A and B are shown apart, each in its own frame.
Chain A
């Protein structure tokens, strides 16, 4: 039987993979894609709980998250493009101005 813990473990694994991507990759586009992975992990979690406990509230929450992710990606990629115009690179370690 597939219990909720299976889904939870899956969600956890996806989350860790996403965090690996955020912390480790240099290319900023891929970092953003890893953030999407994290969001999807959360969504799986929510939907699994919604399924096992009845009610669609989890799914509604997941819909909102997807909408939110869309907005965030749009803005994030816009920032990326603006950054690329100024610096010609999209590597995260070459943009270290967020200090001091």
Chain B
């Protein structure tokens, strides 16, 4: 079977699952047929994964490793002139592109997605709304696959919006809880801000290149010689990416998104959706390369976000919150990599991060499941003997994220640090920030592990009775992800070669090669390992060896601790400025909504009213004037005929009289 030709089926499998859930889910739920749901939805993702594997294998045998298939032309517009003066038509296809970059993404999305679906069978088994969860999850897979397989910005944006919607639906899955529904709303609204910027960026792209197709834009940009506001264009795209991938300033939704079920956090907010921003930036690498200022901004924001989120994660007590801030921090690393020009490294980190972050989230879900819903780490401890499989797999993820070789996280994170140090777009300052963040990452992850699995047990008595290892259906994916986290970094050389054609340098930009020598690279490698080990050791000291020191430090640095615990009060500031604030807040929103209701809707209603009015006039004209004319004819006939009728009396002598009168007249006429 030609997997490539049928590439459009890959998103369709999970869509089928979602539609089936939409149509039949309720009945299945009532019939207690959870097994059917469990078979359909993960099954669909599994089939999508197999298909994707087949397609990628077939891709390796195509020339240039590029396969594009346009299903049909979705939007076709009228011709107009670009800023360069050429005549173009807007055309957005419903088309799929499989090249090295999207191949990596599709394999990660379907593979990790499949494992998470399987895990969810066990995790969500006792919840209500089983079919709804899987329906939304499949819908998410559909949208994500559309996003990564799209061949143009518009279709990508369709998937972009779709995953935003599914994120909202899944964060607010427990919609009875106000905090959950609020979190869902927050995610959607913050995302929207980024989307607005993304759309503006797309307009710039079209105005400059006359097309939104990835291949064409990239080729045109690589050709060079185009004068366009690349800075603004790429800045707008990047703002869109910050919304979706939770960077400063639009990251605030991601910690709140932990209100959703843990598999959701694993899939959407660790492995796949949040990486969509990175994917989009990598896809537009030709444009970014033409705007060095934006690259600097990207790297700076990436680094700032990384250290900022890591610092918050140091003191959080909710196990999922730590992981959430960790995700934000790691996403900062990915953008740092893209910002210094090492796009393939950013994608590499996407892949490794997907493995170990999904593993850590699912593991934490297993912990929470064992703790009967308890998420506060201060109430955990010494769990490693109780839930050994969970501990073992999470330990692999912990080592991976800390950057200890030869696990996956080491290869990607180290490469990022090396590129930051050596690339002409990087700087020592950025390297320093990255290094410090790596240390903090190791520290807080170790803190998490030690507080949860080591030390003295602080578990409450009721929870202790229910402590049990998770079922096989949950542990299986954990084990699979652990294996992937262990070996997932070893193919970095092949990955770099595989992704090379996608990230070709653009003509006209001077690219200096890495200015440092190979020796420095190994030195830096050693430094990063040392920093990671130092972080782990520090955490061990604070949380296992001498737990009192942690409390003493906390007491002495109370203000800093409070600041970090309250996330730098960013949410409060946003709320004060944008929600309740005098200019940007609710007043503006309600004013705009009034404007919409009165002016815009009024305009529309007015159009309807005008139509009604003119048609009423028309009706009046028709019924009075035109029908009146017709009826007048009849009326006049009646009026005229009335005297005429009287002539016919039936009285023959009258007729005789008329004859005589006629004779008189005619006689006079003829014989005068």
Contact = CB atoms under 8 A, between A and B. Distances in A.
A and B touch in the complex (CB under 8 A): yes
A11 to B, nearest CB: 15
B436 to A, nearest CB: 116
A23 B650 contact: no
A79 B265 CA distance: 115
Contact of A92 (B648, B652, B660): B652
Contacts of B657: 23
Interface string B635-651: 00000000000001111
A66 B337 CA distance: 137
Interface in B622-670: 648-653, 655-657, 660
Given A19-B660, A23-B660, A97 B653 contact: no
Contacts of B653: 22-24, 31, 92-93
Nearest to A95: B652
B648 A22 contact: no
B648 A93 contact: no
A19 to B, nearest CB: 6
A85 interface: no
Nearest to B660: A19
B656 A93 contact: no
A71 interface: no
A67 interface: no
A96 B650 CA distance: 4
B189 to A, nearest CB: 85
Most A CB atoms within 10 A — which of B649, B652, B657? Answer: B652
Interface residues of B, number: 10
A100 B648 contact: yes
Interface residues of A, number: 13
A22 B655 CA distance: 11
Contacts of A23: 653, 656-657, 660
Nearest to B653: A92
Chain A CB within 10 Å, residue with most, of B649, B650, B653, B655: B653
Contacts of A31: 653
A23 B656 CA distance: 7
A99 to B, nearest CB: 3
B656 A99 contact: no
Given A23-B656, A23-B657, A92 B650 contact: no
Contacts of A98: 650, 652, 655
Contacts of B652: 92, 95, 98
A84 to B, nearest CB: 15
B660 A96 contact: no
A19 B653 CA distance: 11
Contacts of A19: 660
A92 to B, nearest CB: 5
A98 to B, nearest CB: 5
A24 B653 CA distance: 8
Contacts of A92: 651-653
Contacts of B660: 19, 23
A31 B650 CA distance: 17
A25 to B, nearest CB: 8
Contacts of B651: 92-93, 96
Contacts of B650: 95-100
A88 B652 CA distance: 18
A22 B649 contact: no
B518 to A, nearest CB: 124
A100 B645 CA distance: 9
Interface string A59-98: 0000000000000000000000000000000001101111
A2 B15 CA distance: 128
Contacts of A24: 653
Nearest to A24: B653
A99 B651 CA distance: 8
A58 B650 CA distance: 37
A42 B648 CA distance: 30
Interface string A30-62: 010000000000000000000000000000000
Contacts of A100: 648, 650
Contacts of B655: 98
Contacts of B656: 22-23
A31 B653 CA distance: 9
In this complex, the member of B648, B651, B655, B657 whose beta carbon has the largest number of chain A beta carbons within 10 angstroms is B651
B195 to A, nearest CB: 84
Chain B CB within 10 Å, residue with most, of A92, A97, A99: A99
A31 B651 CA distance: 13
Contacts of A99: 648-650
A24 B651 CA distance: 12
Nearest to B651: A96
A67 B643 CA distance: 41
Contacts of B648: 99-100
Contacts of B649: 96, 99
A2 B657 CA distance: 33
B528 to A, nearest CB: 119
A86 B655 CA distance: 23
A15 to B, nearest CB: 11
B450 to A, nearest CB: 118
A31 B654 CA distance: 13
Nearest to B648: A99
A4 to B, nearest CB: 17
Contacts of A93: 651, 653
A49 B653 CA distance: 31
Contacts of A95: 650, 652
Nearest to B657: A23
Nearest first, the 5 closest Cβ-Cβ pairs linking A and B are: A99-B650, A96-B650, A99-B648, A96-B651, A98-B650
Interface of A: 19, 22-24, 31, 92-93, 95-100
7 contacts: A23-B656, A23-B660, A92-B652, A96-B650, A98-B650, A98-B655, A99-B650
Given A23-B660, A93-B653, A98-B652, 7 more contacts: A19-B660, A22-B656, A93-B651, A96-B649, A96-B651, A98-B650, A98-B655
